[in-house]
Amino acid sequence: MTTIKIKGMTCSHCVMAVTKALNGIEGIQKVNVDLSEGEATFEEVQPVDMSIVKEGVKKAGYEVI
Ligand SMILES: [Cu+2]
């Protein structure tokens, strides 16, 4: 299980956007985004480059910190 910190989420819409972005990355499964903690957790079924994760989250409008 991998945990990342995400900056900029304020509501359930943000949670959905980040969840969708992470689910769209190859190798990532079981995404769970926690709004109150500002965190996302997921499982890597294959190694995922963190720069791809950061880019995907950024494209959705948020930032991995
Ligand atoms: Cu929002």
Q: How far is the CA of 61 from the centre of ligand 1 (A)?
A: 10
Which H or E run contains 12? helix 12-23
Determine contact, residues 15/54, Cβ cutoff 8 Å. Answer: no
Q: Supply the range of the domain harboring residue 56.
A: 2-64
Q: How far is the CA of 36 from the centre of ligand 1 (A)?
A: 12
pLDDT tens-place values along the chain, 65 residues long: 999 999 999 999 999 999 999 999 999 999 999 999 999 999 999 999 999 999 999 999 999 99
Amino acid identity of 11?
Answer: C
Determine contact, residues 40/53, Cβ cutoff 8 Å. Answer: no
Q: How far is the CA of 35 from the centre of ligand 1 (A)?
A: 9
Q: How far is the CA of 6 from the centre of ligand 1 (A)?
A: 13
Q: How far is the CA of 60 from the centre of ligand 1 (A)?
A: 11
Count H helices and E strands in the chain, helices first.
2, 4
- CATH code for the domain of 17: 3.30.70.100
Q: How many domains does the chain have?
A: 1
Rounded CA-CA distance 34/52 in Å is 20
Quick one: pLDDT at residue 15?
A: 98
